[in-house]
Every structure is written in structure tokens, then in C-alpha cells.
């Protein structure tokens, strides 16, 4: 297997009210190209921090140590028009040299989070936020080859309302991503948006193009957020608790939607959840975080059938206590 993303010795500290909070401690893991990886752990274990760090979206105040290497296809970003290229200042980060047919975007992050800001893509990062885009900085340092939100990484957050603009028609929000990153004209981008609304199974895509987020249910809004996230054909889809705010039935529908889209587009998936059983239905590998440390990492069946760490067993037991049904749909896990 080839790595899409390699994380080495990643530590992240936030400063809050004058106190340092260590969110991640020495995390090393590879995300393999085309795999479905779940990151699980209880609230505060560092799951979102890991995803945000990988996507280069950590708040500028975060102190980051370690190394993140991306292995993107050489033509990544080739279609991005110059007007939308990020404004990246020279920095201490290193750009790895090109290898034969892959581009290596390397970030070696110095002590003290000495990483430079990247301007948010207009209308993109400013809306697709969880904790406020204005604080966000790209910690993955690079030139235009650095992974770019929307183009290389699709990010789906827990609350679709926070990632969608309430006063912009849905079609325009999706079309904008396609236009920005694929260099399409507006009519082409709208056609693409309509196709995407159909692909995420929204009823009447034509009418939905002109609808506003408040006219849709929570599950439908999450479908729109997913359509926008994949509009530019990213290599990696990161879903951070993307189904947690939804009721069980809708949650299952969104999980199967994600599974289908990832398979159809050959995307790599990082699925973040506090729910080990849900994660097991989707992922081929599971990483278990606890208090910012990677306590267990392996194939889904190994984690479920023979967990090595007591904490993983606790997560499994907690689940079994609530529900006597078999924990894992083994078909789903191995598919």
C-alpha cells in the first residue's frame, strides 16, 4: 500500500486562558491511499485536532511539533486558476523534491508553531468551519503543491448549518467549489452541482439548486455539505463526527452515502467518530485516541475481535452494555 499522508511525532498544544492544553502527544501514523480509516476516542481525545492538523486547518495559536508529509498526484492543482492560488509566505517549512510521478508536500513544523497563515479561499474556508475560520491557519507548509482544502481535501463537519452559508442558494455553494478548484465556468459548475445533488440522493436536484439551507432537513443539509466537499474531486474525504448530530436512521443513511461516494470516486476516507461500532461498519482500519495519545491502531476486525488495549476494551464493553445485538456488521467492515 502507498501512503497518501504520513504523520510523524505530531504533538499539538493549545493555549487557553494562559494555560497550555496538550491535545496530541507524539502521534505517528500513515493514511494509506484509498483506505477507509476511522479515528475514534471519547470527547476531548484529540480526534478533531488530528484531522485539522492533517488538513492544515489548525488555529494559528496552536503549537505544533512533528512532521506531516503528503503524497499527492503530480497534477494536483493543475486546474486551479492563478487567481485562486493561496497566498503563502515563504516559511521555515520544507518542500520535498518531486519524486517520479508523485508530488511530495512536506511540512516540518518547528517548535512554537512557526507556521505562516494562508488566506482562506473566498467563500470556502470562511464558511466551512467548526470553530471559526478566522482563526484558522495552514500548518502544512508549502507552495501551491501543498494540499488545499476543497481541491485535495474534502472536509465534512458535524453541524452542516455551520458549514453552509444560510443566505446563499445551495446550487451556488456547490458550484462555487467546482468553479474555484476545477476552473469551470458558472454554467458548467451549476451542471456539476446538479449532478452532485443527484449523486447524494437529494430529491429534485433542479429545484434544490435554488433552495436555501433552512428549507432542508438536517440530513439533507449534511448531504449538501458532502456534495460541496467532494465537488472538486478531492483525494481525501475527512468526515469529523459528520453523522453525530443526526438521528439513528438518518445517521445510517449518511454513512452508507459516504461509503458509496468514497467507493465510486476512489477517495481515501478518514472517518472520525466517538462511536466504535459505527466506525467499525465503515472503516477498514481503526485508530484509537485517548488523552491525545494513539493507544491502538490496526485492522478493524483485529480491534473489534482482539483489542490489545484496555481502553479499547472499555469502549467495546460500553457499547455491548447498551445493546446486546452483535456489535459489528462484519460484512460492512470487510467490504
Ligand X SMILES: Nc1ncnc2c1ncn2[C@@H]1O[C@H](COP(=O)(O)OP(=O)(O)OP(=O)(O)O)[C@@H](O)[C@H]1O
Residue with cell 464493553: 317
**Residue 48 sits in the site that holds Ni ion (CB under 5 A):** yes
Q: Of these, 7, 29, 45, 282, which contacts ligand X (CB under 6 A)?
A: 45
Binders of ligand X in range 231-260 (CB under 6 A)? none
Q: Which parts of 46-167 are beta strand (E)? A: 63-73, 102-109, 153-156
**Residue 21 sits in the site that holds ligand X (CB under 6 A):** yes
Pairwise CA distance, residues 76 & 102, whole Å: 9
Burial class of 102 by CB neighbour count within 10 A (0 to 12, 13 to 18, 19+) = middle
Write down the least CB distance from residue 137 to ligand X, Å: 12
Binders of ligand X in range 126-155 (CB under 6 A)? 131
Cβ atoms of residues 38 and 333 within 8 Å: no
Write down the least CB distance from residue 201 to ligand X, Å: 27
**Residue 295 sits in the site that holds ligand X (CB under 6 A):** no
Residue 273 contact among ligand X, Ni ion, none, beta carbon within 5 to 8 Å by kind: none
**Residue 251 sits in the site that holds Ni ion (CB under 5 A):** no
Which stretch in 39-47, 70-78, 90-98, 227-235 sits in contact with Ni ion by CB under 5 A?
Answer: 39-47
- DSSP per-residue letters across 277-318: HHHHHH-SEEEEEETTEEEEEEEHHHHHHS--SHHHHHHHHH
Pairwise CA distance, residues 25 & 28, whole Å: 9
**Residue 123 sits in the site that holds ligand X (CB under 6 A):** no
Element (H, E) at 220: helix 218-230
Pairwise CA distance, residues 37 & 255, whole Å: 13
Which stretch in 42-50, 162-170, 209-217, 253-261 sits in contact with ligand X by CB under 6 A?
Answer: 42-50
**Residue 43 sits in the site that holds ligand X (CB under 6 A):** yes
**Residue 48 sits in the site that holds ligand X (CB under 6 A):** yes
Contact track, ligand X, 165-204, x by CB under 6 A: ----------------------------------------
Chain centroid to Cα 54, Å, comes to: 8
**Residue 274 sits in the site that holds ligand X (CB under 6 A):** yes
Cβ atoms of residues 202 and 223 within 8 Å: yes
Q: Of these, 14, 94, 102, 252, which contacts ligand X (CB under 6 A)?
A: 14
Pairwise CA distance, residues 18 & 16, whole Å: 5
**Residue 23 sits in the site that holds ligand X (CB under 6 A):** yes
Binders of ligand X in range 56-85 (CB under 6 A)? 59
Strand bridging mode 293-299 / 102-109: unpaired
C-alpha cell at 170: 445551495
Write down the least CB distance from residue 129 to Ni ion, Å: 13
C-alpha cell at 52: 485539522
Q: Pick between residue 18 and residue 203 the one whose CB is nearest to ligand X.
A: 18
Pairwise CA distance, residues 255 & 24, whole Å: 27
**Residue 49 sits in the site that holds Ni ion (CB under 5 A):** no
**Residue 45 sits in the site that holds Ni ion (CB under 5 A):** no
Q: Of these, 11, 49, 173, 251, which contacts ligand X (CB under 6 A)?
A: 49
**Residue 2 sits in the site that holds ligand X (CB under 6 A):** no
Write down the least CB distance from residue 328 to ligand X, Å: 21
Pairwise CA distance, residues 315 & 307, whole Å: 10
Cβ atoms of residues 161 and 127 within 8 Å: no
CA max distance for the chain: 56
Which stretch in 15-23, 113-121, 185-193, 296-304 sits in contact with ligand X by CB under 6 A?
Answer: 15-23
Binding residues (CB under 5 A) for Ni ion: these are: 47-48
Which positions touch ligand X (CB under 6 A)? 14, 16, 21, 23, 41, 43-49, 59, 131, 274
Amino acid at each position: 500500500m502507498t501512503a497518501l499522508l504520513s504523520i510523524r511525532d505530531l504533538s499539538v498544544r493549545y493555549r487557553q486562558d494562559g494555560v497550555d492544553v496538550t491535545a496530541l502527544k507524539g502521534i505517528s501514523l500513515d493514511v494509506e491511499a484509498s483506505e477507509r480509516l476511522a479515528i475514534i476516542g471519547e470527547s476531548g481525545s484529540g480526534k478533531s485536532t488530528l484531522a485539522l492538523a492533517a488538513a492544515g486547518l489548525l488555529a494559528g495559536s496552536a503549537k505544533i511539533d512533528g512532521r506531516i508529509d503528503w503524497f499527492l498526484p503530480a497534477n494536483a492543482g493543475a486546474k486551479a486558476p492563478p487567481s485562486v492560488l493561496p497566498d503563502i509566505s515563504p516559511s521555515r517549512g520544507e518542500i520535498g523534491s518531486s519524486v517520479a510521478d508523485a508530488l511530495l508536500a512536506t511540512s516540518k513544523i518547528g517548535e512554537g508553531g512557526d507556521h505562516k497563515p494562508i488566506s482562506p479561499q473566498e467563500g470556502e474556508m470562511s464558511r466551512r468551519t467548526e470553530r471559526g475560520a478566522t482563526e484558522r491557519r495552514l500548518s502544512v507548509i508549502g507552495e501551491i503543491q501543498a494540499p488545499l482544502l476543497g481541491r485535495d481535501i474534502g472536509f465534512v463537519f458535524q453541524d452542516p448549518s455551520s458549514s453552509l452559508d444560510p443566505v446563499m442558494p445551495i446550487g451556488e455553494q456547490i458550484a462555487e467549489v467546482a468553479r474555484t478548484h476545477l476552473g469551470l465556468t458558472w454554467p458548467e459548475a451549476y451542471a456539476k452541482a446538479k449532478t452532485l445533488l443527484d449523486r447524494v440522493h437529494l430529491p429534485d436536484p433542479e429545484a434544490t439548486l435554488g433552495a436555501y439551507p433552512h428549507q432542508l432537513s438536517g440530513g439533507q443539509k449534511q448531504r449538501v455539505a458532502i456534495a460541496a466537499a467532494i465537488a472538486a474531486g478531492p483525494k481525501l474525504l475527512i468526515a469529523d463526527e459528520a453523522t453525530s448530530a443526526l438521528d439513528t436512521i438518518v445517521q445510517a443513511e449518511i454513512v452508507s452515502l459516504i461509503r458509496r461516494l468514497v467507493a465510486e470516486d476512489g477517495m481515501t476516507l478518514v472517518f472520525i467518530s466517538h462511536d466504535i461500532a459505527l466506525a467499525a461498519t465503515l472503516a477498514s482500519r481503526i485508530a484509537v485516541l485517548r488523552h491525545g495519545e494513539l493507544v491502538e491502531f490496526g485492522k478493524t476486525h483485529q480491534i473489534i475481535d482482539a483489542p490489545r488495549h484496555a481502553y479499547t476494551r472499555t469502549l467495546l464493553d460500553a457499547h455491548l452494555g447498551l445493546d446486546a445485538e452483535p456489535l459489528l456488521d462484519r460484512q460492512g467492515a470487510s467490504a
